[in-house]
Every structure is written in C-alpha cells, then in structure tokens.
Chain A
Amino acid sequence: MALLTPMSALPATDTEIAELRTMLDQMKSQYERRIQDLESRLAKAERDATKAATRSEAAAVRAEEAARVASTESRPMTAPVVTPPASPEPGKTGFGALNSGNAFNPQISAFLDGNYYHDGIDGEGATLVGLAYQPSRGADHGHDHEEDGGHVHGLTENGFNFREAEIAFSATVDPYFDASLFLAIDGDGTVELEEGYFQTRSLPAGLRVKGGKFLSDFGYINRQHPHQWDFVDQNLPYLNLLGPHGLQDTGLQLTWLPKLPVYTLLGVEGLQGNQEIFGATLGDDDQAALELGDTDDGPRLWTAFAKVAPEIGINHALQLGLSYADNNQHQEVQEHTHAHDGDLDDAHDDDHAIEIHRNGLAGDAQLWGVDLVYKYDGGGAYGHKSFKLQSEYLRSIKDMRITSSAHPEVVGSRRTFTTDGLYAQAIYGFAPKWTAGLRYDVLGMTNEVSGSENASFGSSDRWTFDVTWNLSEFSRLRAQYAHNDILQAPGERERFDAFYLQFLVSMGSHGAHAF
C-alpha cells in the first residue's frame, strides 16, 4: 500500500498536468469561440444595418422608377402598393390611408344602450306607443294572442332596462366588396341579426350594389341604428307603420349617383317582404282557414327612393327625399263580435259578446315617404351652436278584399286602410357637449278605412323633450320626457307622461359621422 501510494501519486501528477493542460486548452478554445462568436455577431449586425439602409434606398429607387415608368407610359398605376415596405414604418406606401387598424381584422365596435324608464301607467307606456290605434296593423294585430309571448321587442318596464348591445364588424373583403355585420343582443341575451350585407366598391358610373340583410334606405331615419337616434325611442309613424325595426329585410339594393350638378341619389331595392306590419303574411293554418292563399314567392317588397341635396353653403347641409315602397302581398285577420253585426272594428271588450268572428283580408300595401333634413355646423366647441332639423311624413295604404267571413255577403268586398304619420324634430347644441331636442310626432291625421265600408278614427300624438350630454365622442347620457296622447282603440285614449334616463357608450373603432 505504501509503495502503491507514490506509484499512484506519480501518475496522478502526470494526469493532473495533462488535465490542467486540456482544461487550459479547452478554456482557450472556448474563449476563442466566444470572441469569434461576438465578432461574427458584430459583423452581422453591421451587415444587416447596411443591408436595411440599402434595401430602403432600393425600395425608394424602385418606387421612383415605378412612378416614372407608369407616368411615362401614361397608364393608371395600380400595382406599386404591393412593394413590401422595407422602411421601419410598415404600411407607409404613400397611396393608402394611415390608420391604427390591426392587419386583416375587421373594424369592430360595440355599443351598449341601457336606460331607466318610468311612466304613470305601470310601465305599459313604452309598449303602448307602438300600438297606437290604426284600422290595419298586420300580423301582430289581434287582442288575444299578443300577451302570450308572441313577438315583443325590447319590452321596456318601469325601472332599469338594458335595451341592447350592438356589435358591429366591417371590413373590405377584397377589391370588389366591403362587408358589414351588425348583431344586437337584448337584455335577455337574445341575439338578433340587425344587418349583414356586402356592398360593391368598384362599380363605375356612380353605381353601387348592396346585398344581404340590411336596413332599407327608404326615408331618412330608417337606416339608423337606435344608438344613432337623437331621442331614446323611435317616432310614432315609423314605430306603428313599419314596426320596431323599420324596413329591415333581405334582398338587393342598387343605387346610382348620376353625374348631375346637384347631389342626387336614386335607388331601388328588391326585398323578400317578410314584414310584421307593412306587408305581413299569416301562418299556414290561418291562410287555409281564412282562404287567404299561400305566401307568394319573394321578392314581394319593392322600394324606390330619390334624395337631393342642393349646395347651400359650406357649413350647411340640406337633403330632401322622396320614397315609395310596395309590398305586393299583405294579409291580415280582423275580429269582431257578433253583437255588432257587420261592424268591423267596434268595441268588443265593452259588452260581453258571445261569439267572435274572424274576417280574412288579403291584398297589397303601399307606403309613401317624404323627408327633409337640414343641418348647420355652428363651429362652436364640441357641437356648440350646431343645429339639426329633421322631419318625415309617411302614408301607408293597404288595399284589400275580404276573403272569408262569417257573413258571406261581405266576402269579396273591398277595404282600403289608410293611415299616415308625421314627425318633426329639432336638436340644438346649447353648450359645448350638450344638446337639447324637441320632437312632435303624430300618427293618424288620416286614419280611416274606406271601400264598401267607411270609418274614420282619431290620431295619436306626442311631445318629447330631451337633453343629451355627449361626454366624449364615445359616450353620452340622455334625459327624455314625453307627454303621450295615444289612441288605444276607437274612442279610447290613454294620456300619460313618460321619462327616460339613457346611457350610450361605444367601444372599439372610431365611429363614422354619416349624414
């Protein structure tokens, strides 16, 4: 063992030396490698920097050359945009619009719309204003089947209400189309497709085509979403003659902006015609029972409109419009009690009638609209001193024949239902960020049935006043008071006051200030 120790010690020192040497060599090579690594990285960085510089120079030269070539060849240059941006600021091609949108994602915005509501008739008022009496109401008419669920929109109660969250997407699809999608989610979480359409972007001669589900360009306020309104609720003529969604349908629209000295927009629409009030059709059972006939193939609803806007000064704008819509099929059922034989719409609730008779009516529906909008940009801070006047007149004419009745003698006789309506509203920016609005709306200045039977009914009207605080472009608070005088049924009126406090906020992309 004693001999072994030095024996082992000696080779140990030898191996130690060898080990130390290899370690030293390893360290040397390691450091050399690291230094080399650093050197090469430095060199690479320098190369990259010069490369980037020459690349952007080259890109600039290329762009210049392209421009020169294009200009000498005198043909429209469309391609240069595809040159990949080499500059550190992506998207700077010089042709496009600078914006903070994110790559290919559509522009997304969301609106939240809620209110506190109170009226003196237990919260019935908000529903009642949409049921002002007219001799023809379409599919949602009928005093019996209204309460049981049915189709009740944005039912507003006394207290807090969440009216809707609207989500909007819009994007350019390709060189040919733009597209938009609007979804509304009500307070119960029910999702509804408000609009979903494509629109052409490159047709010549001032032509554009829109297709899908959309709000018709009939009239002026029809195409506005609720968050764009100057009052919390829709005016009486639209609410009662077209329903809570207005003319919202599926189909095609063609508009033409002709080369005239004065702005003139002409348009036609062919729409499916599935409406609740203006051109309604009944269910299969009713159609069979009342001999109304089947629902015709679409499109059944046609519209035409013209809008003219003369130049009246740089800070003023005026637009006049004339619209017409025709739904070539309208069906409805009208009930009367046996006690008032032959009377179509008389009070059946008053005396306890034994029998209810149902008459089936079929025909078509026409609607005329005249609109006027004037705006003045007052130039004050945040909308101060700006003014807006807006007025529309609607007239609905439903021309029908009785298809079935318990009284055979009236079958085939003609009934024409005419109801019109008007609203006029003015908004003034009385202080920076604050506006005040006044609206008068009336339904049924003419409210009659004619033909082989004639009757005339009274009108419903309302005065509304509101104050809106536009805290920023993205949020607003509104207080609204209305005095309503609503004709519920012939000879039966409800007069009540209604009060709203509303909030409206928008998130996401910058909203458009459309006219």
Chain B
Amino acid sequence: MVKGLVGFILGGLLTFGATQAAELDVVATSSSMGALARTIGAERAQVTVLASPDRDLHMLQAKPTMIRALRDADLVVAVGAELEVGWLPVAIASAGNPRILPGQPGYFEAAAQVDLLEVGLPANRALGDVHPVGNPHVNMDPVRMAIVASALGERMALLDPAGAETYRANARSFAAATEQRMNAWQARLAGAPGVILYHRDALYLLDRFGVPLLGTIEEIPGVPPTAQQIKALSEHLQGRSGVIVYAPYMSAQAPERLAKGLGWEARRLALDPPIGADGGGYLDHIDLWVDTLSHAR
C-alpha cells in the first residue's frame, strides 16, 4: 500500500518533470487554438487542449482536471468573446495562477486580436443566448487565424524571449501556408450556392469567401427549431441548391428533415480540427469545410 503510494508519487513527479522540459506550458481551450499553439510553439511549447471538438465549447463545465492543467500554465489560449464564459473564468479563478488572469500576458483571446462580426446586437435574451460583444467563432476564418497566429507568436515571444525568433518565424510560415491555400479555396468557393447552418457558428468562413448563408435551422441562438420553422425554411428555399451543415453536438433530426424536404445533403461537421491537430491539421479542417460547401447541390 505504502509502496504503491510512493511509486505513484514518484511516477507522478517523473511525468511532471517530463512536462517541464518545454519552455512554455500552454493550455488551449479548443483544438483550433491548440493547433495554433502547437504550430507556433513547436517544440518549445507543451500544449494541452481542454475541450474535445465534438463538444459544445459554450456549454462545458469547469472540470477539476482543467483546473489542474491551468494551475501551472504559462499561457491560456482561448477563442474568447464570451464563447467560454460559462467555464473558463471559473476554472482560471480556481487554478490559483495569477499569471493567466485576464489582463495578464498569460491570457490570450483570439477574438480580441481581430475584428468581429455581428458586434453590438441587442442585449435581449428574448433573442436567445446572444452575445452583444460579437460572434465569437473567429476560428472558422483562416485569414483571421493567420492574424491571430502572428499575435500569438508575439505573445509567446513576450513570455519566452529566447524563442522569440522561432515563434515569429513559425507564425510567418503559418500565414504563408494559409496564403498558399487561399487561391484554391477562393476558386472552389466562387459561385458556391450557399449553406444552411444550424447555428451562426461558421459565419466567418462564409463571410471570408462570400458564400451565401441561406438560413439557420435555429431561428434564435440556443433555441431548437419548431417543425413549423423547418417547414417554412424548406418552402422558402424550394428549388434552390445548397448544403446543410450542423455541428456534432446538434440534434441531427431537424437537419435531416430539412435535407429530405429540399433534396440537399446534410453534413455533420465540427467547428474545430481533431484534438491533436497542428497548423496543417487546422488548414485541412478548413479544406474539409471548403469541400463540403463547394459540393453543394
């Protein structure tokens, strides 16, 4: 028993020592943010991602293991703009780590680095779970993400000056890699007929490439649609072409019914890349979305 306990503690200390090898202990809320942190931090950063891409980042709970991860973090990378408002502030406050409090260099919000869409909507909850600060899902726009990457590079350089050149170079190469794919994406999405989203979460991608948003399945954020609303949407778009996209944590029922009514395809797509993705993985994730939007019938 005692032996086991000693072994446990020793083992723990050893693993703990191993994670200390990296210069920066980075905690990312989502896999998109994790992908940026991995690409820019490269081997100088140890990245932990808190949320799985198939879970709703807005609805998570502050788990003790998240608090543990934040306890020793040098840097928290969040999407921000109140997307993680339900759990990240609680988790950060509980972590007893003053370096990552909002306002400190150890706190980084992607949404605070770029211009937001839908800023200043009325603060009226009759309109659902609205956030007047702006639509937070900036991770769906690769161009904004390149700007975020550059800001993140500067932030990492600030926290770990010895790696400043590495971080800046990595941010530049991420921007270059994004730039490289932009033309192809633009070409493929030119004339895309449009999309129906469940929630206005891929808005930044559509806005970037001029893909029309034909409608949303939920009329009000956070409120599931009624059969009536689905019927109205179906009648309104009858005869047009497009595609329906919904996040993994949304109910498939309404999208499938609508797809049947319109003769379109309904695709279940995550807003974030797989959990271990790096910068390339993130761009592949955008590829997947471009692919889906460009094949709309």
- Over the window 7-26 of chain B, the binary record of Cβ atoms lying under 8 Å from chain A Cβ atoms (1 yes, 0 no) is 00101110110000000000
**Chain A residue contacts of B80, Cβ below 8 A:** 97-98
Q: A72-B161, A178-B93 are in contact. Are A513 and B87 (CB under 8 A)?
A: yes
Contact of A515 with B98 at beta-carbon distance under 8 Å, contacts A97-B109, A379-B248, A433-B224 already known: no
Complex contacts, A257 vs chain B, CB 8 Å: 67-68, 71, 94-96
Residues A512 and B54 in contact in the complex (CB < 8 Å), given A94-B151, A473-B222: no
Within 8 A of A (CB), among B242-275: 248-251, 275
B86 contacts the other chain (Cβ, under 8 Å)?
yes
Question: A314 contacts which chain B residues (CB < 8 A)?
Answer: 51-52, 275
Which residue in B61, B78, B250 is a CB contact (below 8 Å) of A513? B61
In the assembled complex, the Cα of A146 lies from the Cα of B148 at a distance in Å of: 65
- Evaluate whether A204 and B55 lie within 8 angstroms (CB atoms) in the complex, with A93-B112, A474-B125 already known: no
Which residue from chain A places its CB closest to the CB of B15 in the assembled complex? A261
The answer to whether A98 and B251 touch across the interface, beta carbons within 8 angstroms, is no
Q: A382–B250 Cα gap in the complex (Å)? A: 8
Tell whether A100 is near chain B: CB-to-CB under 8 Å.
Answer: yes
| Interface members, chain B 110-138 (any A CB < 8 Å) | 111-113, 115-116, 119, 123, 125, 128-129, 131-134
What are 19 pairs between A and B in contact, CB < 8 Å?
A67-B154, A76-B99, A89-B119, A94-B109, A95-B105, A95-B112, A97-B107, A97-B112, A100-B131, A206-B96, A207-B96, A261-B15, A261-B16, A262-B12, A263-B68, A310-B65, A432-B251, A513-B90, A514-B62
A514 touches B55 (CB 8 A): no
Contacts A71-B161, A100-B133 given: A309-B63 contact, CB under 8 Å?
yes
B65, A317: Cβ atoms closer than 8 Å: yes
Given contacts A317-B64, A381-B250, 9 further A-B contacts (CB under 8 A): A76-B99, A94-B113, A95-B103, A98-B80, A98-B109, A100-B82, A257-B96, A265-B64, A515-B62
Residue numbers in B under 8 Å from A202 (CB-CB): 98, 101
Chain A interface SS verdict (over half): loop
Instruction: Report B's interface with A, CB cutoff 8 A.
Output: 9, 11-13, 15-16, 51-52, 54-55, 59-65, 67-68, 71-72, 78, 80-82, 85-87, 89-90, 93-99, 101-105, 107-109, 111-113, 115-116, 119, 123, 125, 128-129, 131-134, 151, 154, 157-159, 161, 164, 222-224, 248-251, 275
Determine the distance from Cα of A384 to Cα of B248 in the docked complex, in whole angstroms.
Answer: 12
* B134 in contact with A309 (CB, 8 Å): no
Chain B residues in 8 Å Cβ range of A263: 64-65, 67-68
Q: Which of A94, A204, A256 contacts B112 (CB 8 A)?
A: A94
- A241-258: which residues lie under 8 A (CB-CB) from chain B? 255-257
The 9 closest A-B pairs by CB, nearest first: A309-B64, A261-B12, A263-B68, A202-B98, A381-B251, A97-B102, A206-B96, A513-B86, A263-B64
Residues in B neighbouring A67, C-beta threshold 8 A: 154, 158
CA distance A472 to B52 in the complex (A): 23
* Nearest CB of chain A from residue B158's CB, rounded to whole Å: 5
A103 to chain B, nearest CB (A): 14
Q: Which residues of B contact A260 (CB under 8 A)?
A: 9, 12, 16
0/1 per residue, A132-146, Cβ < 8 Å to B? 000000000000000
A94-B112, A515-B61 known; A379-B249 Cβ under 8 A = yes
List A46-76 residues whose CB lies under 8 Å from chain B.
67, 70-72, 74, 76
**Does A92 lie at the interface of the complex (its beta carbon under 8 Å from any beta carbon of B)?**
yes
How far is it, in angstroms, between the C-alpha of A382 and the C-alpha of B89 when the chains are bound? Answer: 21
CB contacts (< 8 Å) of B222 on chain A: these are: 472-473
Interface centre among A94, A375, A433 (most CB of B within 10 A): A94
Using Cβ atoms and an 8 Å threshold, which residues of chain B touch A345?
A: none
Q: Which of A76, A309, A379 contacts B55 (CB 8 A)?
A: A379
How many Å from the CB of B132 to the closest CB on chain A?
5
B134 to chain A, nearest CB (A): 7
Residue on A with the closest CB to B134? A98
- Whether A95 contacts B102 by the Cβ 8 Å rule is yes
With both beta carbons as reference points, the residue of chain B lying nearest to A308 in the complex is identified as: B64
- A459, B132: Cα distance in complex, Å: 54
The interface bits of chain A over 308-345 (1 if a CB of B lies within 8 angstroms of the residue's CB, else 0) are 01110011010100000000000000000000000000
Report yes or no: B61 in contact with A98, Cβ–Cβ below 8 A: no
Nearest-neighbour CB distance to chain B for A322, whole angstroms, equals 15
Which residues on B sit within 8 Å (CB–CB) of A495? Answer: none
Q: Is the CB of B55 within 8 A of A510?
A: no
In contact, B65 and A377 (Cβ under 8 angstroms): no
Is A78 at the interface (CB under 8 A from chain B)?
A: yes
Assess whether B224 is in contact with A262, with CB atoms less than 8 Å apart.
no
Q: Contacts of B251 on A, CB cut-off 8 Å?
A: 380-382, 384, 432
Known: A72-B161, A307-B64, A515-B61. A377 touches B55 (CB 8 A): yes
Cα–Cα distance between A76 and B74 once the two chains are bound (Å): 11
Residues of B near A100 (CB, < 8 A) are: 82, 123, 131-133
A-chain residues with CB within 8 Å of residue B158 when the two chains form the complex: 67, 70-71, 77
Task: Find B54's partner among A95, A199, A261, A379 (CB 8 Å cutoff).
Answer: A379
Whole-angstrom distance between the Cβ of B107 and the nearest chain A Cβ: 6
Is the CB of A491 closer than 8 A to any CB of chain B?
Answer: no
A317:B133 contact, CB within 8 angstroms: no
What is the CB-to-nearest-CB distance from A248 to chain B, in angstroms, rounded to a whole number?
A: 20
Alpha-carbon distance between A472 and B58 when the two chains are bound, in angstroms = 13
Residues of A within 8 A of B16 (CB): 259-261
Chain A, Cβ-Cβ closest to B68 = A263
